[in-house]
Amino acid sequence: MLRSVLLVVDSACAGRVVQRVAQLPLADDARLTIVEAARRRERSPLMLLALGVLSPRREIHWASYRMFDPFVLRDLARDHAAELVVVGSDPFLGWRIADVLGRVPILLSRSPSNVPYRRPLVALDPTRGAREVLAYTRELLGGTDAEMSAVHVSLRGEEARRIVARLLATLGPFGEGWTRHLSRGDIRTVVARTAAATHADLLVVGSRRRPLIAQLVSRSISRGVLANVDCDVLAVPVEATRRHRYAARTLVGAR
C-alpha cells in the first residue's frame, strides 16, 4: 500500500489527478501532498476537491508555486518521503522530474478516469530491470482484475519468447494469462502501435539514470513514445528498486 504520494497539478488537470490517485492502493493513513501551480498563496479550492474525493482519514498537505521547479519537487518528495509522484500537467515535465528525483516512480496522468486501470501494457526490456518493473506492477495492480499485456521489441524471435515467458513466471499467479506482443522495429513505433491496438489505459516502462549521451537518446525515445500514446505512463526507476526501499517496501506495505 502507498503511504505517501506527491501530486503535481495545475487548474487544468487537478480533477483527473485527484480521481486517479483515489484509484491507487492507498493506505488508510496515507499522506498526500498536493503541489499546485498557481499565483495565489491562499489555500486552493483544489483542497476541497481532494477532501471530497479522498478519504478524510488521510493526511493532506498543500503547497503553491508560480511554476514547477523539479528541484523544489525533489526536496518536497524527500521531505514527505514520497513513494510515488503523480504529474498531470505538461507530460514531459514528468521526465524532467525523473532526471532529478531518480529514485521515485513517476505516474503521468493524462486521461480522466474514476475507475482502476483495466488494460495496462508493460514494455519489457530484459537489460533494463524488467524483473523490478514487473514486481512493481504486480504490487500496484495485483489486487485488480486488469487485463494485463506485455510488449517486447527484439530481433531474437523464439529466444525472446522464452525470455518473456521466464520473466512473467517470476510473478507467480499474477503472471498467468498475460497477452504477449513480440515485434521487431523501432521501439517508439512498436510500443505506440501496441498501446493503440490493445486500447491500453496505462503504459509501464523502466527508467534509470544514465550518462549524458545515453540520457539524450533515452529522452528522444521517451518523447517519441509519449507523442504517440494517449494513455497514462508509469516510469519505474529500476536502480531505485534495486538499491532503495521505494518499490520493494512501498507497495508491499512492509514499512
Three-class secondary structure assignment of 143-201: CCCCCCEEEEECCCCHHHHHHHHHHHHCCHHHHCCCEEEEECCCHHHHHHHHHHHCCCC
Nearest to 114 by CA among 34, 29, 52: 52
Asked if the 120-250 domain carries CATH number 3.40.50.620, the reply is yes
pLDDT average, residue stretch 108-137? 86
Q: What is the pLDDT of residue 35?
A: 84
More confident residue, 216 or 31: 31
pLDDT average, residue stretch 13-32? 86
Range in 62-71, 78-87, 186-195 the model is least confident about? 62-71
Range in 31-40, 53-62, 217-226 the model is least confident about? 217-226
> Domain limits of the chain?
2-108, 120-250
Site of grid cell 501494457: 121
Show Cβ contacts of residue 236 under 8 Å, excluding neighbours closer than 6 positions: 105, 129, 132, 133, 136, 137, 204, 205, 206, 207, 247
Check for a shared fold between 2-108 and 120-250. yes
Q: What is the pLDDT of residue 238?
A: 77
Q: What is the pLDDT of residue 223?
A: 58
Q: What is the pLDDT of residue 209?
A: 54
Q: What is the pLDDT of residue 215?
A: 42
pLDDT average, residue stretch 246-254? 37
pLDDT average, residue stretch 157-161? 83
More confident residue, 86 or 70: 86
pLDDT average, residue stretch 166-183? 92
Q: How far apart are CA 233 and CA 157, in angstroms?
A: 27
Residue 253 in this model has a pLDDT that exceeds 60: no
Q: What is the pLDDT of residue 255?
A: 38
Residue 9 in this model has a pLDDT that exceeds 90: no
2-9 sheet: strands from edge to edge: 59-65, 26-37, 2-9, 84-87, 106-108, 232-237, 202-207, 120-124, 149-153, 179-183
Q: What is the pLDDT of residue 180?
A: 94
2-108 fold: Rossmann fold (3.40.50)
Residue 246 in this model has a pLDDT that exceeds 50: no
Q: What is the pLDDT of residue 18?
A: 85
Range in 35-39, 113-117, 120-124, 245-249 the model is least confident about? 245-249
Q: What is the pLDDT of residue 236?
A: 85
